[in-house]
């Protein structure tokens, strides 16, 4: 008996495990840095990071507003996130701090800072994602790190296959990663 192969592998179990994010510290402030090697040109990765029709596959919210440095934006959670997590706040304010297509995109999300840096390589693109969190609580940081790890897995899947399963289906993987990130935060 032959099993049919799924359309794409689950975002919760990528075929090869990407590296864990690095814990960053600046006084009491906690940050995370993730580096991913993507087998796609910078322009394709940039589009996935900045265009709403692609963000919906790997990011829990849309980025609504003009794309330019200094622009105010609204980060609106997708309906699936609002429904599953019964979110009362369905959007948060932000500001684009750096807009340098197709190399650097940095914005605020509430009190967090989110930065994507792209560099062309001979095999595609190096994506360096860094976030600095408003919260100094280790538990919050572990949860955010697990969530971003799963988001980046979904981003890779989107780039590799053209689609990704809904992020709301990745909770089990997020919880597994949360525990691993909690250990890293304790050690750091």
As a CATH number, domain 22-58+102-187 is: 3.30.530.20
Residue 111 backbone phi and psi in degrees, to 5: -95, 0
Confidence tier at 137 by pLDDT (50, 70, 90):
confident
pLDDT of 105 above 90 = yes
Q: Where are the domains of the chain?
A: 22-58+102-187
% residues pLDDT > 90 (the chain):
81
Q: Does the predicted model carry a pTM greater than 0.75?
A: yes
For residue 16, the model assigns a pLDDT of 63
Q: Could you tell me which of 154, 153, 103 has the C-alpha nearest to residue 128?
A: 103
Q: Produce one character per residue of 51-65: b if its CB has 16 or more CB atoms within 10 Å, e if not.
A: eeebbbbbbbbbbeb
Contact predicate 149/34, CB 8 Å: yes
pLDDT of residue 71: 98
Mean pLDDT of all residues in 105-127: 96
């Amino acid at each position: 008996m032959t099993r049919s192969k799924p359309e794409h592998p689950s975002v919760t179990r990528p075929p090869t495990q990407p590296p864990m994010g690095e814990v960053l510290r600046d006084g009491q402030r906690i940050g995370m840095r993730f580096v991913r090697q993507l087998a796609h040109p910078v322009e394709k990765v940039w589009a996935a990071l900045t265009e709403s029709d692609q963000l919906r596959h790997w990011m829990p919210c849309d980025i609504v507003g003009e794309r330019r440095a200094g622009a105010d934006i609204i980060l609106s959670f997708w309906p699936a996130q609002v429904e599953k997590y019964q979110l009362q706040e369905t959007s948060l304010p932000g500001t684009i701090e750096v807009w340098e297509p197709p190399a650097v995109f940095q914005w605020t999300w509430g009190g967090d800072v989110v930065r994507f840096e792209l560099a062309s390589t001979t095999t595609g693109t190096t994506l360096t994602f860094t976030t600095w969190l408003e919260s100094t609580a280790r538990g919050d940081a572990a949860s955010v790190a697990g969530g971003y790890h799963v988001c980046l897995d979904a981003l890779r899947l989107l780039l590799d296959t053209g689609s990704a399963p809904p992020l709301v289906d990745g909770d089990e993987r997020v919880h597994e990663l949360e525990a691993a990130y909690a250990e890293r935060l304790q050690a750091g």
